Amino acid sequence: MNKEEMADRLAARTGRSKVVARDAVDGAFPAISDALADGDEIRIAGIGIFGSRSRLDRAGANLKTGEANSISASTSPTVKAGRTLKEIVNADPGS
């Protein structure tokens, strides 16, 4: 699903116009991205926790040649799914 399809589903679920739903989707993701970039954690009940994880510099190797190399420090976004989301995803489709 892309952002446009998400906005369409949001409009259908809420009874709002597609323009309003598109604005909501277009506003939500930059707000989440900005919060994560600032080191904040986002908790959405039933969905999960969005956060970030810092990784230190570390040694690595080129898998093809075996040559040693260095992997730079980085920060990556993380998502820990909430119980409700897990239950929805794992629900029996025949029920």
* 17 and 50 both lie in a single domain: no
pTM over 0.95: no
User: Measured between alpha carbons, how far is 20 from 36 in angstroms, rounded to an integer?
Assistant: 25
* 77 and 90 both lie in a single domain: yes
- CATH number assigned to the domain comprising residue 67: 4.10.520.10
Burial class (CB in 10 A: 0-12, 13-18, 19+), 42: middle
Grouping H, G, I as helix, E, B as strand and the rest as coil, residue 50 is strand
* 10 and 50 both lie in a single domain: no
Residue 92 confidence class, pLDDT cut points 50, 70, 90 = confident
* 9 and 51 both lie in a single domain: no
Q: Which domain holds residue 17?
A: 1-40
User: Measured between alpha carbons, how far is 57 from 70 in angstroms, rounded to an integer?
Assistant: 7
Number of domains, the chain: 2
Distances (CA, A) of 29 to 12, 23, 60, 82: 20, 11, 33, 19
* 48 and 92 both lie in a single domain: yes
List pLDDT tens digits, range 17-59: 999 999 999 999 999 999 999 999 999 999 999 999 999 999 9
